[in-house]
Structure 1
Amino acid sequence: MKPVSHLDSYRRHATAGAPPIPELTHPWHARVARPDGYDLHLIHRWHQAPHVAAFARRAWSLPRWEEQLRGQLDGDDVRPLLISWHGRPVIHAEVYRAARDVVAGCYQARPHDLGLNLAVGELAMTDQGLVRSLLPRLTDALFEADPHCTRIVLEPDVRNKRAIRSFEAGGFMVADEIMLPNKLALLMVCPR
């Protein structure tokens, strides 16, 4: 077996597999979101909520969400997750390979870089410190699951001050302001 080297994340010819599924510790739990039933309906409802729709811009129909989740699960670029806190699903997350995403056009992405999209589904669960509590555990679990990964990125809408404060408190630093197809965003980075 070839020894793991963090230098592999810098090599242009290096390739990375599908994003890992993080193994979180109590009171957190992450699992792959299913493209049907409870998971589909929950993710659809959460993305209709004004506090999520305002920044995520994915207030899609139920069939569109089903297509999105099936596409993510059929490919190797994104893993959709439901993250629970004390057994209750509270966050829809996507772990993605940043080098294979549109964000890679805005910075020098390395093959093993991971990206995160996070949405706290219920308005009543916002401002409870969930994201700032989760992020250090989540980033540690992702670095553990992919030893070649040297950084994790987020790209929140610049107007989403609540999320930006939570991301900073959770260990991410602002690297740059970037223009993405659907938003002006901050590139935020958490190094290994």
Structure 2
Amino acid sequence: MFDLVKFELKKIIARPSTRYTCLAVALVLCAIMALNVLQAKTTSNTEEILSGFDAIHQRQTAAAEHAGVLSGERIAEEVAAYYDLAFSELDPQEVASMSNAAAYDAVSSAYDDETRSELYGAGYYPWLFSAWNSGSKEPIQVSALLGPDPEVSFYDALDERVQAALDDGQGGSWTYSDAERAFWTNKQ
């Protein structure tokens, strides 16, 4: 096998056209990899748009803040802390009854940039509350509906969501067999 690889490499190196083609492909791949880094964009905690390596480092820092095992106790603490922060200036009953846009505007007007950034947390809190989110509510609305101590745990809510998605069957266009349901339930 090694002899075959060596023979093919000799053929590539011996012919100028293949040598230049391989070099061009390597240069295009390097350009694509560089553009992937240079075109990365994100928003900092101060609402400044970062790009390139700064954006990558900002995303890594944000991910490191919430790294670790999501135990039931940790989730309960984070949900309670979010509730306390979110409703230090707003009324939870009012937020729960607002539209999505009105809830977002209420958060924008009630809190400074740093607190608003913490409430929307670079995608972490929207992801955390997605287990309980029925529809497309804002994380603060879901928190208002749940309260500081949700009745249904995070993992039970995820299980219910998966089963509801399987029951829905691709919007009613698909019926999952028992084997398929078992596969996706185990995947979850």
TM-score where L is the length of structure 2: 0.21
TM-score (norm 1): 0.21
| Larger RCO (alpha carbons 8 Å, 6+ apart) | 1
| Bigger strand fraction | 1
**Structure number with larger C-alpha Rg:** 2
